[in-house]
Structure 1
Amino acid sequence: MTDVLAATTTSTAHVDAHAASDHIATPLTDARSQLAEAVSLLGYADGLHQMLATPRRELSVAVPLRMDSGESRLYLGYRVQHNFSRGPAKGGLRYAPNVNLDEVRALAMWMTWKCALLDVPYGGAKGGLAIDPREHSTAELERVTRRYTSEILPIIGPERDIPAPDIGTDEQTMAWMMDTYSVNSGYTVPGIVTGKPISLGGSQGRASATSRGVTHIALAALRHVGLDPARSTAAVQGFGKVGADAARFLSEAGVRVTAVSDQYGAVVNTAGLDIEALSDHVRATGSVIGFAGGEPLDGADLLTQDVDLLVPAAVEGVLHDGNAGDVQAAVIVEGANGPTTPAADRILRERGVLVVPDILANAGGVIVSYFEWVQANQAYWWRADEVESRLEERMLSAWQHVLGYARARDLSLRTAATALAVERVAEAHRLRGLYP
């Protein structure tokens, strides 16, 4: 495979030709654009570029569901394994009505870079089911999860591909997946998924790991640009798995969180929101709307609030060329996957806004998923303080590594992080060689 890795003048892989001419940004075009930039910087040949841009394995499945009413419905599901040169594939399972194969491909690619950047011995994968979990009973979600799991059984396993929770799924989903896989194996296999309930072999700290990682990076980034976190303000887009705890941890660290949004709307209080009271309100009503401790705000306006720190922690593509010029935050820390398009990246860099990329900022989840997998394989579980200290060390070490790489080469943090990750994956390819 030496010829593939030779440093030559790189021609753009055919997989990126369409993306480059496509003016409609999608998660997949964004992911391929970021890869193309890293490949050009590293001087890799076209053959390697195509290998890195193309998933190693994809599975599309039709998932029938027997509703509580007795009728049947059919949903489409996917599992994409982008790369496993550095270890078994790893990635979340997403339940959302707009899930499609290209989105899952992009998320799997980002997962590859995330694992490599944090030096976790995994490749990237992602799964998805095009279903709205809010429209189904618990019994229906259990049946559809078990059927989806049975459909992807041939390609998953603790040494092959380890799913985890994502948007629309949780520890209960993982418990059903673990049980389905275990029943088919004939014995209990706790290492088949991560993000499980603690009573089934889950890890302490896993549920809030992504949020804690975002917070560690956000505080470091604020200090890097000369801002004292205790005198800083923040806006958090998304008040779900990542955003809610990130807002809480930032508040506990002294950051004044002034605005929060969810898919229904937003609330703002320039004096600072009471995050605990807001969380109680969301648990009671299902939304941040109507919270008495803040004023109503249009959800889109949250992204352009006058704050020091912006944490987009919802979905892809929310920062784009149409609003990047209006962002007032000095620091953006990506809690979501792919919230900033390449066009927005260019605008924000020109304006001097520090953007900490998703593959670094939200990597806390995969780090503690790795810890959970290690614990399951050893049948020995760590204390919560051990998990937290090891998570913080990993996150801040990666932050310093990316920051140093970016400074030495005058790169954005995203380009530096992606180049570092791609370099590590390419090195694994080189060392393993090309079979046959």
Structure 2
Amino acid sequence: MINQVKPPYLQVTWHDPVTGRPGFLVIDRLVRGVCSGGLRMRAGCTLAEVTGLAAGMTAKEALNYDPEGRYIPLGGAKGGIDFDPRDPGAVDVLRRYLMAVRPYIERFWTMGEDLGLRQDTIDEVLADLGMQSSIQAIYPLLDDESKARQRLADAFEISVDGVALDELVGGCGVAEAALVGIERLNLAAPKAFVQGFGSMGGATARFLAQAGVPVVGIADAAGVVANPDGLDVERLLLTRDQFGMIDRDQLRPDDRQLPLQAWLDVEASVLVPAAVSYAIDDASAVHADLVVEAANMPVTSTAEVSLADRGVLIIPDVVANSATNSWWWWTFFGDIEADADAAFTKIRESMRKLVNRVLDQAAHEATTPRAAAAAIAAEATDVISRRFGPSTV
């Protein structure tokens, strides 16, 4: 987790008048009056969770800040709704939440999909409410709003081998972070296990398999599918449902099905938790050499300390899963065009540079990659503050 240096700029707690379930919005920091961060929906979501995620978004913005780039660095924020996204009433709860936080979306909070929610669902509800976009707060900062909006809209229309580009960019970054970690550890014949098969987990599995790293196990909400020689990731990816559930009818005869609680028992040197927060709280259950955090805050702080003491390399979430956020803004501000090859090239180059920088600093200072990332983010935040003045905070 990112250590909270100071209290967040704003915390909002909302209670749904129909179900009584709470929802939250935390703005950790504003840069030029604007912040960025996704909206998640899951049963059990808490204010503390959303606060930590918002701080992580501030770090992601800072870690990917390029003073030579076109995109304006933003502050960090996060939204969360304590409700099961599979419940038939989920869209209605989402609609009431968005109505309640509408003033923040219109003026301060640029927001996208996160765990349990899809961007197209958010967009449809916002359109029903008569709102322009989930990122309309940033429009006043643009030189040419129409071109920026068209560029992003064009990017969201791109599909790569049957999967939308916006569902692939985050996993491309996670996979590249994993490949750097594999190289740094000099792992021979690495095999990967991916926990979660939604946008982030599914894309990560695709790019790892394409890079020659067999994905020997995948966990979804129903259980685990595994094969020591590697699963047919592409077949499973193209037949999963909207919630990232694997169609078991697509498994091959030699694929195994295991109970969900066995997800850490599958032998793999690379572990990619890509589902819920706090999924790993027992370090003794982890047998991988490399953990790449595709989900937000999937490893508890206690487990992380124990894993680090054992020599397990953890590439933290604020580094590994930051490509989705960066891709939005690179495309929106024109650092890249609406093109899949341009997106993947930019993501791979930026992620490789960032991961190596973090790991080099961690080695030099004899600290953890998370601590190194926090130090780099703090330094970048200071630069952003000096560039944009007191309105930054």
The two structures have a TM-score, normalised by structure 2, of 0.83
Instruction: Name the structure 1 match of 2:174.
Output: 214
Structure 1 distance, partners of 2:176, 2:39, is 25
CA positional deviation for 1:381: 5.0
Counting matched residue pairs gives: 366
**Matching of residue 152 in structure 1 with residue 105 in structure 2:** no
Query: Could you say which structure has the larger radius of gyration?
Result: 1
Instruction: Name the structure 2 match of 1:299.
Output: 260
Structure 2 distance, partners of 1:414, 1:119, is 17
**Matching of residue 169 in structure 1 with residue 117 in structure 2:** yes
Structure 2 distance, partners of 1:287, 1:197, is 34
Cα offsets for 1:325-361 (capped at 9, x unmatched): 2422111111111111122122212211111111101
Equivalent residue for 2:306, pick from 334, 340, 347: 347
CA positional deviation for 1:428: 4.4
Instruction: Name the structure 2 match of 1:192.
Output: 136
Structure 2 distance, partners of 1:359, 1:103, is 15
Residues 197/108 of structure 1: CA separation in 2 closer, same or farther (3 Å cut)? farther
Structure 1 distance, partners of 2:284, 2:392, is 48
Structure 2 distance, partners of 1:435, 1:407, is 32
**Matching of residue 390 in structure 1 with residue 346 in structure 2:** yes
CA positional deviation for 1:304: 4.0
Structure 2 distance, partners of 1:243, 1:434, is 37
Structure 1 distance, partners of 2:321, 2:133, is 27
CA positional deviation for 1:177: 5.1
**Matching of residue 362 in structure 1 with residue 321 in structure 2:** yes
Amino acid at match of 1:151: A
Equivalent residue for 2:185, pick from 189, 200, 225: 225
Structure 1 residue matching 2:15: 3-state secondary structure: strand
Instruction: Name the structure 2 match of 1:240.
Output: 198
Equivalent residue for 2:8, pick from 52, 55, 59: 55
CA contact (8 A) 2:169 2:343 kept: no
Equivalent residue for 1:407, pick from 363, 374, 381: 363
Residues 189/258 of structure 1: CA separation in 2 closer, same or farther (3 Å cut)? closer
Q: CA RMSD in A?
A: 3.1
Structure 2 distance, partners of 1:96, 1:190, is 20
Equivalent residue for 1:123, pick from 58, 75, 88: 75
Structure 2 distance, partners of 1:413, 1:227, is 18
Structure 2 distance, partners of 1:382, 1:341, is 37
Residues 277/112 of structure 1: CA separation in 2 closer, same or farther (3 Å cut)? same
Structure 2 distance, partners of 1:233, 1:319, is 19
Structure 1 residue matching 2:112: 3-state secondary structure: strand
CA positional deviation for 1:107: 1.0
Amino acid at match of 1:149: L
Residues 289/103 of structure 1: CA separation in 2 closer, same or farther (3 Å cut)? farther
Structure 2 distance, partners of 1:124, 1:346, is 26
Name the stretch that deviates more: 292-301 or 304-313: 292-301
Amino acid at match of 2:293: E
Amino acid at match of 1:386: A
Amino acid at match of 1:307: A
Instruction: Name the structure 2 match of 1:4.
Output: none
**Matching of residue 309 in structure 1 with residue 253 in structure 2:** no
**Matching of residue 277 in structure 1 with residue 238 in structure 2:** no
Structure 1 distance, partners of 2:392, 2:225, is 55
Residues 175/330 of structure 1: CA separation in 2 closer, same or farther (3 Å cut)? same
Residues 256/79 of structure 1: CA separation in 2 closer, same or farther (3 Å cut)? same
Structure 1 distance, partners of 2:201, 2:354, is 21
CA positional deviation for 1:286: 3.8
Structure 1 distance, partners of 2:379, 2:245, is 43
CA contact (8 A) 1:172 1:197 kept: no
CA positional deviation for 1:278: 2.5
CA positional deviation for 1:63: 3.5
Amino acid at match of 2:276: V
CA contact (8 A) 2:200 2:274 kept: yes
Instruction: Name the structure 2 match of 1:35.
Output: 3
CA contact (8 A) 2:110 2:134 kept: no
Structure 2 unpaired stretches of 5+: 67-72, 139-148, 159-164
Structure 1 residue matching 2:54: 3-state secondary structure: helix
Structure 2 distance, partners of 1:190, 1:390, is 24
CA contact (8 A) 1:150 1:180 kept: no
Residues 386/290 of structure 1: CA separation in 2 closer, same or farther (3 Å cut)? closer
Amino acid at match of 1:422: A
Structure 2 residue matching 1:411: 3-state secondary structure: coil
Amino acid at match of 2:111: P
Name the stretch that deviates more: 265-274 or 282-291: 282-291
Structure 2 distance, partners of 1:278, 1:384, is 22
Structure 2 distance, partners of 1:180, 1:149, is 11
